């Protein structure tokens, strides 16, 4: 009961989104093989939890808002990592650009799917 309250609280959701931001900042900042492997694994686990959270809250507006916050966290994390890196690594720039475009397209498609 207590664990369910913790896992589905909005404060925990904010913490998870902040961790997602930090993970993508680290991936684009270091952009090594290890950071891509472990960062992608961590991001996948976080995104699976957020998908499960969105599945439990069936309101279309809540799902779209959560997807928008995920997009903002990923895009800002990628941009922060790129700014810290100093625009010197072309691979990190392409990674951030591709990721930002993919998530933006996903947000638009979800808004069309839920007809919001």
Q: Tens digit of pLDDT for each residue in 32-69?
A: 999 989 988 998 888 888 888 877 766 778 888 888 89
Between the CA of residue 7 and those of 13, 15, 53, 86, what are the distances in Å? 8, 11, 9, 37
- Residues 81 and 100: their CA atoms lie apart, in Å, by 13
Q: Is the pLDDT of residue 26 over 90?
A: yes
Domain limits for position 62: 2-113
* pLDDT tens readout for residues 68-97: 898 899 889 988 998 998 888 888 888 888
- Give me the pLDDT at residue 47, please: 83
More confident residue, 27 or 7: 27
What is the total count of domains within the chain? 1
pLDDT at 12 over 70: yes
More confident residue, 21 or 44: 21
């Amino acid at each position: 009961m207590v664990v369910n309250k913790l896992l589905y609280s909005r404060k925990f959701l904010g913490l998870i989104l902040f961790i997602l931001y930090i993970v993508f900042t680290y991936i684009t900042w270091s952009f090594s093989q290890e950071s891509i492997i472990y960062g992608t694994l961590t991001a996948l686990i976080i995104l699976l939890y957020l998908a499960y959270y969105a599945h439990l809250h069936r309101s279309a507006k809540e799902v779209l808002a959560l997807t928008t916050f995920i997009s903002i966290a990923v895009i800002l994390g990628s941009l922060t990592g790129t700014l810290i890196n100093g625009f010197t690594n072309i691979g990190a720039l392409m990674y951030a650009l591709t990721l930002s475009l993919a998530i933006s397209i996903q947000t638009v498609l979800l808004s069309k799917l839920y007809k919001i």
